């Protein structure tokens, strides 16, 4: 459905479209400025197809200088801009504006420099995530953050969303793997954040920019840290007849002082869908499975594998499978990595949530989700980055049935509110975008939201970068009527949620 931007978040301008397009064609070749409806239509949404908006105009720059000129023009005329990478984002962060420029970064797709001695790569924002690791594999290195969309998503988008992946428990998120960003600001200037070393001078703007959803600037050069490929990798699959036992096993592994490279959980609904989709031999009767990947020096990995196997048995695993060669491991991972499309095959539509909770709350949260699911009449399948408490409930619905999308949105919102109450957050890695902007009113107080707006204004006083995303206006929150429900960690054991 066409998304209606909140009136308080709309940036008004009086630029004439035809004249503005003429100005753009002075900066870019005519074929890099898209203006016809059939050219604009493919950009009407990102990875969240529930909301659409045909952009005013699309530009496809190829150089930093062109981006600077575009921003100077937009700044001068007060025209808002939405930057977009591959458009795989799941929260509508790259949803266009009816009166704004959609700035696609996919043509800036070159690896600018590989510095093996310093283990870094300098990239243009349109470089796809997976190509970084492919380019440096010959040097025994890889780029650690690996979101499931890594074959398509771009590093620029990863920076904007602070993307994670199945290995971030051990190797960190995008923010932990960045060294330097060159940024085009809202008025078209260039800023260099971070440095060639492991930190930069002054305030840590590199951390601030990471995950800022394209609202503070546009990253045009990104230097990332590369990591040596571990000597050995083992992957364990453990089968549980009870999902809470699986949750306890996760806590048990962490308590034993082991940090797996990845620790993932799938519930029965997801196991069935994944098995149906990829046929890798997942146990379809299991209440839950855990995938636990261990990597490092061969002898250490073997010792840890032994220890984890013991723990899994202690915590009630009914079966444990070990994959030591990479072919078997890929097969074992395939179902997890394809979980979303697998759900897509069993349901006409699904709505993916991204709440994060303290691991110990898993049992309570899953129980509550299942109650909410019964109440709403929509099924929910759960995929869980168990190691870091990031839960992806997938709400199954059919957009063609009148009212089901609204029901799915309401159920999603109720799940997020519960995550906040349980001491968690509304988004672990997918970003707020437009999708969770109302839920921000729940998680933050007015004073906190005002602080966010002041930070935004420090970078973009006119508010032309990605307006209406990530941070709600106080007007929106007042209208929405949400009450801010800060969790109090001191009393999180109380059964009041």
Partner 1 sequence: MTDLSSQFQQQIREAVENENPVNLVGGNSKSFYGREARGDSMHVAGNKGIIDYEPTELVVTVRNGTALHELESVLAEQGQMLGFEPPCYQNSATVGGAIAAGLSGSRRPFSGAVRDYVLGCKLINGYADILSFGGTAMKNVAGYDLSRLMVGSMGSLGLILETSLRVVPMHEMESTWCQEVKSDQVIGVMSAMLQKPLPISGLYYDGARLFYRLYGTADAIAQSANTLGGEEYASHDQLWSDLNHQKSDFFQDKTPLWRISVAPATEQLPLSGQCVLDWGGALRWLKTDEPAEQVFQTVADVGGHATLFREGKRDEIIFQPLPPDLMQIQQRLKQAFDPMSVFNLGRMYPEF
Nearer to partner 1, 55 or 93 (CB): 93
Q: How far apart are CA 185 and CA 36, in angstroms?
A: 28
Nearer to partner 1, 376 or 390 (CB): 390
- Least distance to partner 1, CB of residue 123, Å: 16
Q: 154, 177 in Cβ contact below 8 A?
A: no
Phi, psi at residue 122, to the nearest 5°? Answer: -105, 125
Residue 371's alpha-carbon distances to 54, 271, 277, 426, in angstroms, are 38, 20, 27, 19
Phi, psi at residue 453, to the nearest 5°? Answer: -65, -35
Nearer to partner 1, 55 or 262 (CB): 262
- Least distance to partner 1, CB of residue 110, Å: 20
- Least distance to partner 1, CB of residue 349, Å: 24
Nearer to partner 1, 60 or 206 (CB): 206
Contacts of 20 (CB under 8 A, 6+ apart): 57, 73, 77, 79
- Give the orientation angle of helix 326-337 with respect to helix 268-278, to 10 degrees: 120
Nearer to partner 1, 255 or 284 (CB): 255
Nearer to partner 1, 336 or 436 (CB): 436
- Least distance to partner 1, CB of residue 488, Å: 10
- Least distance to partner 1, CB of residue 437, Å: 10
Joined tokens for residue 293: 């990947």
- Least distance to partner 1, CB of residue 239, Å: 22
Torsion of CA 311, 314, 317, 323, to 10 degrees: 30
Torsion of CA 29, 31, 32, 35, to 10 degrees: 120
- In the three-class reduction of DSSP (H, G, I as helix; E, B as strand; rest coil), residue 263 is classed as strand
Phi, psi at residue 8, to the nearest 5°? Answer: -75, -10
Nearer to partner 1, 24 or 416 (CB): 416
Which three-class secondary structure string do you get for 116-185? CCCCEEEECCCCEHHHHHHHHHHHCEECCCCCCCCCCCEHHHHHHHCCCCCCHHHHCCHHHHEEEEEEEC
- Least distance to partner 1, CB of residue 180, Å: 8
Nearer to partner 1, 276 or 302 (CB): 302
Q: How far apart are CA 247 and CA 288, in angstroms?
A: 9
- Least distance to partner 1, CB of residue 320, Å: 21
Nearer to partner 1, 62 or 295 (CB): 295
- In the three-class reduction of DSSP (H, G, I as helix; E, B as strand; rest coil), residue 2 is classed as strand
- Least distance to partner 1, CB of residue 416, Å: 10
């Amino acid at each position: 459905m066409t998304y209606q931007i909140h009136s308080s978040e709309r940036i008004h301008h009086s630029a004439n479209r035809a004249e503005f397009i003429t100005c753009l064609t002075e900066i870019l070749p005519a074929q890099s400025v898209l203006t016809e409806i059939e050219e604009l239509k493919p950009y009407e949404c990102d990875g969240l197809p529930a909301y659409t908006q045909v952009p005013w105009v699309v530009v496809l720059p190829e150089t930093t200088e062109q981006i600077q000129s575009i921003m100077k023009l937009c700044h001068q005329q007060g025209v808002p801009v939405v930057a977009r990478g591959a458009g795989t984002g799941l929260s509508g962060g790259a949803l266009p504006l009816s009166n704004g420029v959609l700035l696609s970064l996919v043509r800036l797709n070159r690896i600018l420099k590989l510095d093996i001695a310093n283990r870094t790569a300098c990239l243009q924002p349109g470089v796809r995530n997976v190509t970084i690791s492919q380019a440096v594999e010959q040097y025994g290195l890889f780029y650690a953050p690996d979101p499931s969309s890594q074959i398509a998503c771009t590093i620029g988008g990863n920076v904007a969303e602070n993307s994670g992946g199945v290995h971030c428990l051990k190797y960190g998120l995008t923010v932990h793997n960045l060294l330097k960003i060159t940024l085009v600001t809202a008025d078209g200037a260039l800023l260099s954040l971070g440095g060639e070393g492991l930190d930069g001078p002054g305030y840590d703007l590199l951390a601030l920019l990471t995950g800022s959803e394209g609202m503070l600037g546009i990253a045009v050069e990104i230097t990332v840290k590369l990591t040596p490929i571990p000597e050995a990798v083992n992957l364990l699959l453990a089968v549980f007849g009870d999902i809470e036992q699986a949750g306890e096993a996760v806590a048990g592994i962490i308590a034993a002082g082991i940090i797996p490279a990845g620790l993932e959980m799938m519930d029965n609904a997801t196991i069935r869908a994944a098995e149906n989709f990829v046929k890798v031999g997942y146990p379809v009767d299991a209440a839950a499975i855990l995938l636990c990947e261990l990597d490092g020096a061969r002898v250490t990995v073997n010792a840890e594998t032994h220890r984890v196997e013991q723990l899994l048995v202690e915590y009630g695993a009914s079966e444990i499978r070990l994959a030591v060669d990479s072919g078997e491991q890929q097969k074992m991972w395939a179902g997890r990595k394809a979980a979303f499309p697998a759900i897509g095959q069993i349901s006409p539509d699904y709505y993916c949530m991204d709440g994060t909770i303290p691991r110990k709350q898993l049992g309570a949260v899953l129980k509550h989700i299942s109650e909410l699911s019964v109440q709403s009449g929509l099924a929910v399948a759960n995929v869980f980055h168990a190691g870091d408490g990031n839960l992806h409930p997938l709400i199954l619905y059919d957009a063609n049935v009148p009212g089901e999308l609204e029901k799915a949105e309401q159920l999603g919102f109720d799940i997020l509110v519960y995550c906040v109450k349980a001491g968690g957050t509304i988004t672990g890695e997918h970003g707020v975008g437009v999708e969770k902007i109302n839920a921000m009113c729940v998680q933050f107080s007015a004073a906190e939201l005002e602080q966010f707006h002041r930070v935004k204004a420090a970078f973009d006083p006119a508010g032309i970068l990605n307006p209406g995303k990530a941070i709600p206006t106080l007007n929106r929150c007042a209208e929405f009527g949400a009450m801010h429900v800060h969790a109090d960690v001191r009393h999180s054991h109380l059964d009041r949620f």
